[in-house]
Amino acid sequence: MRFIPSAALVLAFAAAAACSDTLTANDTAAPGPTLNWGPAPAIFPAGAQMAVMQGDPSGNALFTIRLKLPDGYKIPPHTHPTDENVTVVSGAFRVGMGTTFDLATASKLDAGGFVVAPANGAHFAAAQGETIVQVHAMGPFAMTYVNPADAPSAGK
């Protein structure tokens, strides 16, 4: 898992903004207040909401989604077949690597924090306070729980 300090991200975004202050025909903009939130797919534990920002998570191309997670929401250890790029939009997100859910080993990411969970690397997460994260990855989106009993479809 690679972490980029929030200050470095702020400087990178500021530099990018200074280079261009207008959108071109190829740009996509999705302001926060107009997002269409709905229940996250059943692959996620109950309680999360999701909004698609760009692309189709079930397709074979890049996609961007936002997840709105209630306080205390937990995602058990799982893997994805592609890198998962996660940016914390608001709240606090605890992310750890490994096959055992252990918040004592997780890193806390506040708004602006960024993490890459590598393809096939087991990781877990939890929200502290209501938290919104943005996930950018290559589709199709897939999630495999390390312990099959943790999968929502297992009856939990």
pLDDT (tens digit per residue) in 39-57: 999 999 999 999 999 999 9
pLDDT per residue as tens digits for the range 101-117: 999 999 999 999 999 99
The answer to whether the CB of 13 falls within 8 A of the CB of 25 is no
The answer to whether the CB of 50 falls within 8 A of the CB of 40 is yes
- Name the 3-class secondary structure at 102: coil
Q: Read off the pTM.
A: 0.78
Task: Give the count of beta carbons closer than 10 Å to the beta carbon of residue 26.
Answer: 5
Q: What is the dihedral of CA 142, 155, 44, 132, to 10 degrees?
A: -170
For range 135-151, the mean pLDDT: 96
